[in-house]
Chains A and B, each alone.
Chain A
Amino acid sequence: MRGLAVFISDIRNCKSKEAEIKRINKELANIRSKFKGDKALDGYSKKKYVCKLLFIFLLGHDIDFGHMEAVNLLSSNRYTEKQIGYLFISVLVNSNSELIRLINNAIKNDLASRNPIFMGLALHCIANVGSREMAEAFAGEIPKILVAGDTMDSVKQSAALCLLRLYRTSPDLVPMGDWTSRVVHLLNDQHLGVVTAATSLITTLAQKNPEEFKTSVSLAVSRLSRIVTSASTDLQDYTYYFVPAPWLSVKLLRLLQCYPPPDPAVRGRLTECLETILNKAQEPPKSKKVQHSNAKNAVLFEAISLIIHHDSEPNLLVRACNQLGQFLQHRETNLRYLALESMCTLASSEFSHEAVKTHIETVINALKTERDVSVRQRAVDLLYAMCDRSNAQQIVAEMLNYLETADYSIREEIVLKVAILAEKYAVDYTWDDVQGYAAKTVFEALQAPACHENLVKVGGYILGEFGNLIAGDPRSSPLIQFNLLHSKFHLCSVPTRALLLSTYIKFVNLFPEIKTTIQDVLRSDSQLKNADVELQQRAVEYLRLSTIASTDILATVLEEMPPFPERESSILAKLKKKKGPSTVTDLEEIKKERSSDMNGSAEPTPVNASNVSTPSPSADLLGLGAVPLTNSAPAPSSSGSLLVDVFSDSSSVAAPLAPGSEDNFASSSDLASSEVVSEEPADAVHDADELIHKFICKNNGVLFENQLLQIGLKSEFRQNLGRMFIFYGNKTSTQFLNFTPTTKPVDPIVDGGAQVQQVVNIECISDFMDAPILNIQFRYGGTLQNLSVKLPITLNKFFQPTEMSSQDFFQRWKQLSSPKQEVQNIFKAKHPMDTEITKAKIIGFGSALLEEVDPNPANFVGAGIIHTKTIQIGCLLRLEPNLQAQMYRLTLRTSKEAVSQRLCELLSEQF
Chain B
Amino acid sequence: MSVHMQFMLLFSRQGKLRLQKWYVPLSDKEKKKITRELVQTVLARKPKMCSFLEWRDLKIVYKRYASLYFCCAIEDQDNELITLEIIHRYVELLDKYFGSVCELDIIFNFEKAYFILDEFLLGGEVQETSKKNVLKAIEQADLLQEEAETPRSVLEEIGLT
Contacts and interface: CB of A to CB of B under 8 A. Distances in A.
Interface of A: 1-3, 5-6, 8, 12, 30, 34, 44, 48, 51, 54-55, 58, 60, 62, 78-81, 83-84, 87, 91, 117, 120, 124, 127-128, 130-131, 154, 157-158, 161-162, 164-165, 168-169, 192-193, 196-197, 200, 203-204, 207, 236-238, 240, 245-248, 250-251, 254, 291, 294-295, 297-298, 301-302, 305, 333-334, 336-338, 371-372, 374-375, 377, 806, 810, 813-814, 817, 822, 854-855
A295 B107 contact: no
Contacts of A162: 122-123
13 contacts: A54-B110, A60-B17, A79-B145, A83-B111, A192-B130, A200-B126, A237-B130, A246-B82, A247-B85, A305-B77, A334-B52, A810-B57, A855-B57
Interface of B: 1-4, 17, 19-20, 23, 25, 28, 32, 46, 48-54, 56-58, 76-77, 79-82, 84-86, 88-89, 107-108, 110-111, 114-115, 118, 122-133, 137, 140-141, 144-145, 148-150, 152, 154, 157-159
A855 B89 contact: no
B52 to A, nearest CB: 6
A254 B126 CA distance: 14
Contacts of B51: 333-334
Given A295-B85, A855-B57, A372 B129 contact: no
A337 B111 contact: no
Among B4, B77, B128, the most chain A Cβ lie within 10 Å of the Cβ of B128
A519 B101 CA distance: 90
A374 B82 contact: no
Contacts of B128: 154, 157, 193, 196-197
A573 B159 CA distance: 64
A289 to B, nearest CB: 10
B19 to A, nearest CB: 8
Contact of A124 (B28, B111, B122, B133): B122
Contact of A83 (B4, B88, B131, B141): B141
B25 A130 contact: yes
A79 B46 CA distance: 44
B159 A3 contact: yes
Contact of A161 (B57, B81, B122): B122
B148 A240 contact: no
Nearest to B136: A154
Nearest to B152: A44
A234 to B, nearest CB: 14
Contacts of A236: 130
Contacts of B54: 374, 377
Given A60-B32, A83-B115, A247-B126, A374 B144 contact: no
B118 A124 contact: yes
A84 B148 CA distance: 14
Contact of B130 (A8, A193, A334, A372): A193
Given A55-B110, A87-B114, A814-B76, A333 B48 contact: yes
A80 B144 contact: yes
Contact of B20 (A30, A58, A248, A297): A58
Contacts of A338: 52, 80-81
Nearest to B2: A204
Nearest to B49: A372
Given A193-B130, A814-B77, A130 B123 contact: yes
Contacts of A117: 140-141, 144
Among B1, B132, B152, the most chain A Cβ lie within 10 Å of the Cβ of B1
A614 to B, nearest CB: 58
A117 B143 CA distance: 12
A124 B88 CA distance: 22
Among B84, B115, B130, B145, the most chain A Cβ lie within 10 Å of the Cβ of B130
A379 B48 CA distance: 18
A889 to B, nearest CB: 11
B144 A79 contact: yes
Contact of A80 (B76, B79, B148): B148
Contacts of A251: 3, 126
Contacts of A3: 157-159
A371 to B, nearest CB: 7
A246 B82 CA distance: 8
B77 A80 contact: no
Contacts of B131: 237
A164 B123 contact: yes
Given A124-B118, A154-B137, A240-B89, A248 B49 contact: no
B89 to A, nearest CB: 7
Nearest to B89: A240
A237 B132 CA distance: 7
Contact of B79 (A127, A164, A250): A250
Nearest to A158: B122
Contacts of A377: 54
A2 B123 contact: no
Contacts of B89: 240
Contacts of B4: 168, 200
A897 to B, nearest CB: 17
- A-B CB proximity, top 8 nearest: A298-B81, A165-B123, A298-B82, A2-B157, A237-B130, A79-B144, A161-B122, A855-B56
B3 A200 contact: yes
A51 B112 CA distance: 12
A12 B12 CA distance: 14
Contacts of A238: 129-130
A247 B129 contact: yes
Nearest to B88: A291
Nearest to B32: A60
B140 A294 contact: no
Contact of B129 (A8, A193, A297, A855): A193
Contact of B107 (A12, A30, A91, A334): A12
Contacts of B48: 333, 371-372
A196 B126 contact: yes
Contacts of A30: 159
B33 to A, nearest CB: 11
Contacts of B111: 51, 54, 83-84, 87
Contact of B49 (A154, A333, A817): A333
B110 A333 contact: no
A298 B130 CA distance: 18
B123 A301 contact: no
Contacts of B123: 127-128, 130, 161-162, 164-165, 168
Contacts of A197: 122, 125-128
Contact of A5 (B58, B76, B108, B114): B108
